[in-house]
Amino acid sequence: MISFRSLAVAVSLVAAAVPALADNPQFQGADPHAMMIDGEMWVFPTGGPSGSWSADRFGAFSSRDLKTWRPRGELIRRDQIPWIGADGAPEHFLWAPGVATRGGKWYLYYSVGPQNPTPSRIGVAVADRPEGPYRDSGRPLVTGGQGFEAIDPMVFIDPRTDTAYLYAGGSAGARLRVWQLTPDMVGLAREVPVATPPHFTEGAFMHERDGTYYLSYSHGRFNAADYSVHYATASSPTGPWRYRGAILTSDRRHKGPGHHSFVRTPAGEWLIVYHRWENPRGPAPFSGERQVAVDRVRYSRDGRILAVRMTDAKGAPALLF
């Protein structure tokens, strides 16, 4: 029988053998949604390399080598969302964007908060190009309440059925909800009942590989060392989920990795793009700015995701997509 300690050592040795592929961290920012567009990796984050965390607008950044990032301009500003002040709350913030494309159009989904004193909401805006400009749909897509926090939208289009699903929710209520979107991508066709998987806090992401659907998500407090990425698998994009454990956790130098996305390069290599705290001083709650990093993802023969080793090597070979 293999002991837990032996298994842990084996996993660490496999992780240690994976070389750095980029000069991590990449840039200042959080909640990165990454995707490949025309041979470049695009990242749509909260904040970004141009300055400190911004609560009133979204930008995008692209790179061919994970070394040099090209600013793609402003996607949308808070003052361009006409319904944002309709709840009467004294202030509003934008965070955690998610992007999808269909039929030659681009769709930007985003969180509007905070949750108190009024419910958080999720909006959607449409553009002709990934860099925008995006035009808000004119109304919130989802509104929180009754213990549900409408945050962290992610849209997944099932390659087998071409059905578009919206995943959202988390934090205080720690509840996951899923909807099927209307064909125009700016409305809800119906809610799909799903179970909230074990250790779910927020930041759901869905990807599919070889017929298996991987629901990954963040666990813990965003500004503490227990923030981490866990995952579950299913034979459909809506479950039922089989919990598989944690794949990205704090180490001695990097704390609180999470709110991630998976992206597959044209060469077929899978990467995880996430934010983390770089060697924060003192105990949690951590303060300052989070940093975006990119690392390799490895799968076992039976489809499990192996533990991800966070890297920060400088002078790593440029990755040309």
Break the chain into its structural domains and give their ranges: 17-296
* Res 300 pLDDT > 80: yes
If you average pLDDT over residues 164-174, what whole number do you get?
Answer: 93
pTM over 0.85: yes
The answer to whether the beta carbons of residues 180 and 192 sit under 8 Å apart is: yes
**What architecture (CATH level 2) is domain 17-296?**
5 Propeller (2.115)
User: pLDDT tens, 116-127?
Assistant: 999 999 999 999
**Where residue 314 falls among pLDDT bands split at 50, 70, 90?**
confident
Strand 30-37 versus strand 40-46 pairing type: antiparallel
Q: Rounded to whole angstroms, how far apart are CA atoms 228 and 294? A: 15
**Where residue 17 falls among pLDDT bands split at 50, 70, 90?**
low
* Res 6 pLDDT > 80: no
Q: Which of 68, 52, 60 is nearest to 33 (CA)?
A: 60
* Res 218 pLDDT > 60: yes
Which pLDDT value is given to residue 149?
96
Q: What are phi and psi of 16, to 5 degrees?
A: -65, -25
- Using the CB atoms, write b or e for 234-250: b if 16+ within 10 Å: beebbbebeebeebbbb
Q: What is the dihedral of CA 209, 220, 46, 169, to 10 degrees?
A: 70
Which pLDDT value is given to residue 18?
59
3-class secondary structure per residue, the chain: CCCHHHHHHHHHHHHHCCCCCCCCCCEECEEEEEEEECCEEEEEEECECCECCCCCEEEEEEECCCCCCEEEEEEEEHHHCCCCCCCCCCCCEEEEEEEEEECCEEEEEEEEECCCCCCCEEEEEEECCCCCCCEECCCCCEECECCECCCCCEEEECCCCCCEEEEECCCCCCCCEEEEECCCCCCEEEEECCCCCCCCCEEEEEEEECCEEEEEEEECCCCCCCCEEEEEEECCCCCCCEEEEEEECCCCCEEEEEEEEEEECCCCCEEEEEEEEECCCCCCCCCCCCEEEEEECCECCCCCECCCCCCCCCCCCCCCC
Q: Give the Cβ contact number of residue 296 at 10 Å.
A: 19
Which has more pLDDT, 157 or 11? 157
Tell me what percent of the residues of the chain surpass a pLDDT of 90.
Answer: 85
Distance of CA 262 to the CA centre of its chain: 8
Residues ≥6 apart with Cβ < 8 Å to 314? 23
Strand order in the sheet with 154-157: 154-157, 164-168, 177-181, 188-192
Q: Which of 113, 147, 118, 131 is nearest to 37 (CA)?
A: 131
If you average pLDDT over residues 185-190, what whole number do you get?
Answer: 98
* Res 196 pLDDT > 50: yes
Q: Rounded to whole angstroms, how far apart are CA atoms 168 and 177? A: 6
**Where residue 10 falls among pLDDT bands split at 50, 70, 90?**
very low
Which pLDDT value is given to residue 8?
41
